[in-house]
Amino acid sequence: MGLKEDLLRGIYSYGFEKPSAIQQRAIKPLILMRDTIAQAQSGTGKTATFTIGARHLRPTAHAQQPQQPRPHQACPAYASLPRPVE
């Protein structure tokens, strides 16, 4: 999927080994900064898809628009994922 190595290590540290179907389809367009609409059943990883895409693009994406829901509020694991070294 082209994710940064330190981000992948953080994901694996939570015990995730294989992306869900929605993650396989949606993460790549997100990191390519394409407009993306993703629809899937509950519990399939939509929130993780968004947070992984956001963390890949900007280690501090939640600080850009404080009026919007912050990724770490929607997914507590977001804040503990390693930030990419730039």
Q: State pLDDT tens for residues 32-82.
A: 999 999 999 999 999 999 889 888 887 664 455 555 556 555 666 766 777
In a domain, 13, yes or no: yes
Which pLDDT belongs to residue 86? 62
Helix/strand/coil percent split, the chain, to 5: 50, 0, 50
The CATH number of whichever domain residue 65 belongs to comes to: 3.40.50.300
What domain range is 68 assigned to? 5-80
Which pLDDT belongs to residue 29? 93
Give, in order, the Cα–Cα distances in Å from 16 to each of 44, 67, 85: 13, 31, 22
Total of domains in the chain = 1
pTM of this prediction? 0.63
Which pLDDT belongs to residue 28? 93
Q: Which two tokens stand for residue 18?
A: 């294989």
Residue found under tokens 């993703």: 38
Which pLDDT belongs to residue 58? 76
In a domain, 86, yes or no: no
